[in-house]
Each structure stands twice: as structure tokens, then as C-alpha cells.
Structure 1
Amino acid sequence: MHSIIVVPPASAPAPERITLTSGDRLPFGRAETKGALTIAHPGVPGVAGEITANGSYWLLSNLSEDQTYVVENREDASEHIKVPPGRVEAPVSFELARVVLFASGDLLRFEVWAPGHAFHGPAAEFHLDRTRRYFAVLVALCEPRLRDGPHAPPPPVEDLVKRLRPTWPTVTRSAVHWNIDYLAFKLRQPSDPESLVDLALRDGLASKVDLLGLNGWGFEH
């Protein structure tokens, strides 16, 4: 079953991730309403909008009177859509999205993950997109074992940052940690590099051919 994951801002009263299945609706706004995502900021309308899960993508309704919302592609912030006031059920197809609200001069953000995207081929079971940065992180985690044998440990985060920098110049430790956390969720594994590498190599999710992507071919920026 497809699912949409909403990751509230860290300042939210209940910062736990919220899972929506197809057809579920999640209102969001300043008002503390049962079953809603509360964004406690005086510049946010009481009922600011609504997210609706719809298969492998989701819909955003902007219920404010005068604020435009921006939805950024978390993989590439230059790719975004704007949802004007009053626009209902604007479709969002980004797998990893960041919703940005402009509230009284402040920027407020929360994330929406659509891990139910489907793909054809060896990665179909886990819906991996081989052009995305999270896949580059997975390949970099697997590289020592792919090159040096089945007992090589995953590299530390510092080494991952150095390895990824040629094709991802803005990579940071926090970005690598974020992608590892997302991979763990997506692959239904503990947030542990060893577990991710074990699964990826056991199920053929990463191979020596994928190492080409770390050398400048195949990953989007």
C-alpha cells in the first residue's frame, strides 16, 4: 500500500512522523486540533492548509487568504512549485518534499516523504530511484564491501562526505545522516549503516556498476 510520511518541524508540539495512506487527509495550521499538524506560530493561519495522500503522490491545499506556499524538491531546492492562496489539491510528485510557509517574516518548514513511488527493475521492491542522492549515499556505504570483500566495514560519515563531494559539492555530515535515516525508513531497517549495507548487497540493490555514479555519472544534483 502506498503511504505518505509527514515529518513535522522539530518545534511542533508532537514532532513524531505522521503516516498517511491513500485517501487520508491531514489539516495543518496554528490551531491545536485533534488529528491535525500544529504549527505554533502567530503568522500561520488557524487552518492553513491540508495534505491529502493520493497513491504514490500527494495533494496540497492552501486554505490561507494571503500566503503563497512553496514546495521544494528536497533533492534539488531549485526545483519547486508555488501554491497560491485558495488553491486546493495541487498535485505534488516530489518523492522528498519540503513545504515552506512564509509567516510574518519567518520561514517555517516541514517535510513530506512519498516513499511509495514505484520503479521497475531490481530496486522495485523497495522503490529506489537510482538517480537520487539517497542512492548515492547507499552506494558509498556499500563501496568498501563491493571493492574489498564481504567483511569490509561501512565507511564513517567523514569518509562518506569526502567520497560524495566530487558529484555533490554541497554535501555535509548532516545531509549524509539525513539520507541514512531516510534510507533506513525506506528500506524498513534500523538506522544503522551495517544493516543497510547487508540488505542492499543481499538483495542486489547496489552493485559495482553503481560505483560509476560516485565518479560523476548518474546522480542528480
Structure 2
Amino acid sequence: MYSIIVVPPGDPGDGRGGQEPRRPLRLAPGERLTFGRSARDNDLAIPHQGVSRRAGEITAQGAFWILGNFSREQTYVVENPEGAGEHIKVAPGRLDAPVPFEFARIVLPAAGDLLPVEVWAPRHDYMGAASGLDGATTAPAFALDRSKRYFAVLAALCEPRLRGAPHAPLPTVEQVVTRLRPGWPAASRTSVQWNIDYLAVKLRLKPGPETADPGPRLNGKKESLVSLALRFDLVREDDLALLEVTGR
């Protein structure tokens, strides 16, 4: 069963402005694919003068993959196109660097160009249902109710970055109010700000009212909330449909 799909950079084409179709390469667990400028020495040739003759190696490892950087000078960047700017660096000469992204883009610096090699890891392995375990269930790390207005506020704050602009500025409170008005006609600056303050306590960025300790002043409260929500997938792109109809 194939577990890794590699999509190479587009070929130069016929000189009329187009590019030849990129033909995906499929790897089964344990299989390796070398890439570089030399067609004779690699499984995937990238014919660019700025790419090393033997530039690197991709190895399929079940539900993930590892990357070897054969370059002596260039650091490779592996981006997560869905991860709001998330990326890892693979230093020159580094071997067997594990890549955790389901969809990834290896960026190869090449004499002024940045060449993308896409790698997909669509295989998902899950453990079966546990049996024979007695006792209390594990408390959820973040108890969020998607039917509540506070979740709609959080989704509105996360919306620009979930829609593919990882470094987009966060919406202002007034913009959140405007975004939520179709499903929450009574939304106001005061009510949205109250929900932001409530989220900061609920997600444990600030101490709750039951403690006398006010905790440190939280600068960039919206940024902290969005960073936490996107890092742990508390809000996903599918949740943006909830912005039209908010709960009570």
C-alpha cells in the first residue's frame, strides 16, 4: 500500500509559457526516492543549475516520511501549507529528519529561485477502541462548546488565517461584531469583548474570577487565543460555517 505521494516541481515546458504536467511518484513504506540535478544519479531529476547533483532523499515511513539533505551548504525548509506558517528547517548534511505534516512542501533554494517539491502523506493509522480499561474517563484538555457564542467569536478571530493567510492581521473587535451580526443581531463591541475575556479564562490564559490572583497582564490577548486555537486545532476550517448562526 502506498503511503507517500511526491509531486515534483513543474517542468519548464515548451517555451510558450506553459508547464508540463507534474507526474506524482508514489512510495510504499520503506521505499526511498533520491532527488537532484542529475538524472543518472537520482530517482527524481530536477534540472536546475542551482540544485545539487544529489540534493536529498525522501523515505516513506508508514504514515509519515523522513528527509535527508545531501547539500553541503543549503538549508531546506519544509512548509505546512495548511499550518499558518508552520515549518521546519533541515540543515545541510542532516539525515533522516522526520516530517510531521500530512501536506508538505520542500522548498529548495536554487540560484535565486525557490523550487517546491510537494509531499503528501494521506495515510492515517489509528489505534482501535480500548478494551478492558476501567475507571474514570480522561478530562478534556479544552472544553469548548461549538454551539455557544464564545466559540463563534473565537472562530471569527481565527477566520483570516484559516482561509489561507497565515500572517494576516487579526480582525478588530468591530470587524468581529460585523462578521457575527447575520447570526447574532444583538452583537456589540461590549458583548464580543466580554466573550474574548471569557475565552482567555476558559482556555487558561488568565486565572478565573474564583482566585484572588489576577495573574500577569495579558498583552495581545487576541493573538494568544488564536495562536493556541490554531496550534491545537480547537478551531478548524469546517467550523467557519458556524459564523452565520451562533448559539446562545
TM range (shorter): 0.5 to 0.7
Question: Considering only CA atoms, is the larger Rg found in Structure 1 or Structure 2?
Answer: 2
Q: Is the 8 A contact 2:42 2:54 kept in 1?
A: no
Equivalent position of 1:3 in the other structure: 3
Q: Superposition pairs for residues 65-104 of structure 1, below 5 Å? A: 65-76=72-83, 78-104=85-111
* Change beyond 3 A, Cα 1:19–1:35: farther
Deviation at 1:104, TM superposition (A): 1.2
Partner-residue secondary structure (3-state), 1:64: coil
* Change beyond 3 A, Cα 1:39–1:14: farther
Q: Is the 8 A contact 1:61 1:89 kept in 2?
A: yes
Equivalent position of 1:63 in the other structure: 70
* AA matched with 1:111: E
* Alpha-carbon distance in structure 2 between the residues aligned to 1:34 and 1:63: 13
Deviation at 1:166, TM superposition (A): 9.6
User: Once superposed, what is the RMSD of the aligned Cα atoms?
Assistant: 3.0
Equivalent position of 1:215 in the other structure: 242
4+ aligned runs moved over 3 Å, structure 1? 164-167, 210-213
Partner-residue secondary structure (3-state), 1:81: strand
- Which of 32, 38, 45 is matched with 2:45 structurally? 38
- Which of 157, 160, 168 is matched with 2:163 structurally? 168
* AA matched with 1:215: L
Structure 2 residue 146 is the aligned partner of structure 1 residue 111: no
Task: Give CA deviations for 1:99-136 in whole Å, capped at 9, x if unaligned.
Answer: 00111111111100000123579xxxxxxxxxxxxxxx
Percent identity of the aligned residues? 51
Q: Superposition pairs for residues 131-150 of structure 1, below 5 Å? A: none
Question: Unaligned stretches of 5+ in structure 2?
Answer: 13-19, 129-158, 167-236, 244-248
Deviation at 1:58, TM superposition (A): 0.2
Give the TM-score, by structure 1 length: 0.55
Question: Unaligned stretches of 5+ in structure 1?
Answer: 122-163, 172-209, 217-221
* AA matched with 2:163: W
* Alpha-carbon distance in structure 2 between the residues aligned to 1:21 and 1:62: 21
Q: Which has the higher strand share?
A: 1
Equivalent position of 2:186 in the other structure: none
Deviation at 1:170, TM superposition (A): 4.4
* Change beyond 3 A, Cα 1:36–1:77: farther
